[in-house]
Amino acid sequence: MKRGNSLFYLFLPFFALYLLFIITPIFRTLTYQSFSYIINDTSSGIVQSLEYTYLLALLVSLLSIGFSIPYVYFVSRARNIVIKSLDSLLELPIMIPHTVVGIMMLITFLPTMPVGRFLARIFPGYGFLDTFLAVVITLFFLSSTYAIRAVQISYSGEVMKYENIGRTLGMTPLSSYFVIGIPMMGKTLLRGLVLAWARSVSEVGSLLIVAYSVLPNGIHLAGVLIYSQFTSGALEYAVASSAILIITGLITLLLVKFLEREK
């Protein structure tokens, strides 16, 4: 047997064990109740909640990808040590507890705070708490890192090299980036979009503080709704809603994987 094959079989148990660790809780959630019970739970408000959650997460992920395109180019081309050091702050939102992020957003963007007062002068009637704006700003703070880092890894690798080749052939920096760089990062941009979207869908802690009931109809976003069901003692409803979220999320991810493969 070849050495490569022996190493493959040596690492196979680690792959199987980790996969089992991931699948078991998901399988338990999907089989905790009957399928008919899960279907009946669609009347609990989870479907409408998921519609808002997925659409807002998509908006945030699109903003994250749009922002990552100029950000990645600037940081990857910069040679200034200060800029490189500041770029390392990008991981900071990942390690901050999410309830702390919610508090940070409140003391920054409430109309009674300096930034909030400034925005209120520009936009009369400006509000923050329990608004879609609060959701988008908070999720962008938490999710944009994933999109930017996914794109940055791809660009700073081979993509930038091919871009430089284009420049030696007479292309301008602008044309080489948008004609060579962006198309080469097609799959990476899609992957960054999915990572930011998934991270936005999963958020709960900060939303409990800034957007417990989203205007205009007081609807809860998915994570907040399931948390509310659990804390009110309705474990069965919380599990059923969780199963619906997992099923719809899995379908969405499989669809994206299919599109990525086709691309």
Token digits of residue 9: 């079989």
Question: Has domain 44-262 been given CATH number 3.10.129.10?
Answer: no
Q: What is the pLDDT of residues 12-27, one digit of tens each?
A: 899 999 999 999 999 9
Peptide bond into 216 cis (omega under 30): yes
Domain boundaries, given as residue ranges, for the chain: 44-262
Q: What is the pLDDT along the chain (263 residues), one digit of tens a residue?
A: 455 567 788 888 999 999 999 999 999 988 888 888 788 777 777 888 898 899 999 999 999 999 998 898 888 888 888 888 888 888 888 889 999 999 999 999 999 999 989 999 888 888 888 888 999 999 999 999 999 998 888 887 778 788 888 888 888 888 888 888 888 888 888 889 999 999 999 999 899 999 888 756 777 898 898 988 888 888 888 898 899 999 998 888 888 887 767 65
Token digits of residue 258: 């299919």
pLDDT score, position 1: 45
State the pTM of this model: 0.85
CB half-sphere exposure, 131, CA atoms < 13 A: 13
Q: What is the pLDDT of residues 71-118, one digit of tens each?
A: 988 888 888 888 888 888 888 888 899 999 999 999 999 999 999 899
